[in-house]
Structure 1
Amino acid sequence: MARTPQLSEAAGLFALTPVGEEAPPGHLGHRDRLRRKLLDAGPDALADYELLELLLFFAILRRDTKPVSKAMVERFGSFANVLAAPPEALKEVEGVGDAAVAVIKAAQAAALRLLRAEATEKPVLNNWDRLTAYLQAAMARDSIEQFRILFLDTKNRLIADEAQARGTVNHTPVYPREVVKRALELGATALILVHNHPSGDPTPSRADIEMTAEVKAAAGVMGIIVHDHLIVGNGRHLSFRREGLL
């Protein structure tokens, strides 16, 4: 007779546990040892697959998570790349279902919120390293080009961080009139433009340079300053202002 799935109290909404299924020998002991390693030695003592194992404990209750974790790190290359991977790609790894994807995406969201809070705790122009670290985490590993805008007030504090468009692997349509319209709606007096290059190379294209000039001109008519345009690649970025392109 088929066993009826029952929602596990330990996992909340993250897993369905079959009634009566027993954990394999040594399974719980391994989990306890890994938790203790984290608490006693700190996260730097854990390999990428071990850190991923700890996350998967909340989603996969009744089986060994080490093979799944190792397979994911091998497939995507690192713990960070696993967090950033699209849900459909994650589920191509054997043993990864909706519960595991939910936990991984929750961890990614938590990391991004922490980085964003640190980047915007003071005027962004005075917090440039943290800002670029946040943008790297948010955009560098995306396989599709996206364009986002940081809207700033008169003291260069962040009002809003919004994705304006998503395109293809090498192009995102941007409409200067819509950018300015949104800035006026938010009461922004300055902007930082940001987009990613999925290729990893942040070198601007001719279209990037022309689009930036158009946005700057349209914003200038309304008294809105474009502080910079950042192109984010994998592990590096390019500043239009620093390169004399703005």
Structure 2
Amino acid sequence: MADPLETPPTDIQQLSTASLIDLLLGRPGVAAHLLESLGNLASLARLSPLALTERFALTHEEATRILAALQLGHRRFVEAADVTSIASCLDVVTWAQPRLGHLVHEEMHLLALSGQSHFRGARMIARGGLHALAVRTSDILRAGLELAASGFALIHNHPSGNPDPSAEDIELTLRVKEAGDQVGLLFVDHVIVTASGRFSSFVANQWATESAQK
């Protein structure tokens, strides 16, 4: 088998994940142990440089180099997921999936929209733990007003992998929708994303109807 460290650049796309990591570090044999222990790149990306050095006998420079490469790949993915307008929940998912789907804690973000549903900007509203986050209606409305939005969509992630809204998710959404109407901010949708790509939408999945039937 050819040494990945001597592989011409034109053949890089043909290399295995392990060979790419070895090429990045400049020494073979390290990546196989990393991937066998962690399973995939997502698990690798969640570790800190200190954890990598302690668990796998890497130098701090090597650990940092690996994580920097993974972060560059993630940023390329995020750049490709920019949106210019929000026409449906799928546009919300396009924006949110690469930014929130992989997180191991919950985050809620607001997407600010113009009167023509053009994307004006985004802001993180709250950061929580594995199963919940605390957010106030006033925090959401303030963000929308500060971004000069005519309308807004909410997004948060479920690290558990289950996109179904909790009773608290539905209650918050209904409360925010009503409060937005009172101050002239049009509520567009609230979408929950997960690492697997599964998602749920207040509008498309009719959370309010499901809640009323329970």
Distance in 1, Cα, partners of 2:111 & 2:104: 21
Distance in 1, Cα, partners of 2:94 & 2:180: 27
Structure showing greater Rg: 1
Question: In structure 2, do the counterparts of structure 1 residues 120 and 72 end up closer, same or farther at CA, with 3 Å as the change threshold?
Answer: same
Asked if structure 2 preserves the Cα contact closer than 8 Å seen for 1:145 and 1:195, the reply is yes
Does residue 189 in structure 1 map to residue 163 in structure 2? no
Report the Cα offset of residue 179 of structure 1: 0.9
Does residue 240 in structure 1 map to residue 202 in structure 2? yes
Residues 185-233 of structure 1 deviation map (CA, whole Å, 9 limit, x = unaligned): 1101222211111111111110110011111112221221222111112
Following superposition of structure 1 onto structure 2, how do residues 73-92 of structure 1 map, counting pairs within 5 Å? 73-83=35-45, 85-87=46-48, 89-92=51-54
Q: Residue in 1 aligned with 2:20?
A: 51
Does residue 95 in structure 1 map to residue 64 in structure 2? no
Structure 2 runs not aligned, ≥5 long: 209-214
Q: Residue in 2 aligned with 1:174?
A: 135
Question: In structure 2, do the counterparts of structure 1 residues 127 and 91 end up closer, same or farther at CA, with 3 Å as the change threshold?
Answer: farther
Question: In structure 2, do the counterparts of structure 1 residues 134 and 182 end up closer, same or farther at CA, with 3 Å as the change threshold?
Answer: closer
Distance in 2, Cα, partners of 1:206 & 1:140: 21
Structure 1 runs not aligned, ≥5 long: 1-28
Following superposition of structure 1 onto structure 2, how do residues 125-204 of structure 1 map, counting pairs within 5 Å? 125=87, 128=90, 132-204=93-165
AA at the equivalent of 2:191: L
Q: Residue in 2 aligned with 1:20?
A: none
Over the residues paired in the alignment, what is the CA RMSD in angstroms? 2.7
Question: In structure 2, do the counterparts of structure 1 residues 127 and 146 end up closer, same or farther at CA, with 3 Å as the change threshold?
Answer: closer
What secondary structure, in the 3-state scheme, does the structure 2 residue paired with 1:135 have?
helix
Runs of 4+ more than 6 Å apart? none
Residues 69-115 of structure 1 deviation map (CA, whole Å, 9 limit, x = unaligned): 223323332224423x1426545531345434433443344344433
Identical aligned residues as a percent: 26
Report the Cα offset of residue 143 of structure 1: 1.7
Asked if structure 2 preserves the Cα contact closer than 8 Å seen for 1:115 and 1:134, the reply is no
Question: In structure 2, do the counterparts of structure 1 residues 121 and 207 end up closer, same or farther at CA, with 3 Å as the change threshold?
Answer: closer
Residues 42-95 of structure 1 deviation map (CA, whole Å, 9 limit, x = unaligned): 63x3322233334x33xxx5xx2532x223323332224423x14265455313
What secondary structure, in the 3-state scheme, does the structure 2 residue paired with 1:125 have?
coil
Q: Larger relative contact order (C-alpha < 8 A, sep ≥ 6)?
A: 2
Q: How many residues align?
A: 204
Higher mean displacement: 110-119 or 165-174: 110-119
AA at the equivalent of 1:151: A
Asked if structure 2 preserves the Cα contact closer than 8 Å seen for 1:112 and 1:134, the reply is no
Question: In structure 2, do the counterparts of structure 1 residues 115 and 66 end up closer, same or farther at CA, with 3 Å as the change threshold?
Answer: same
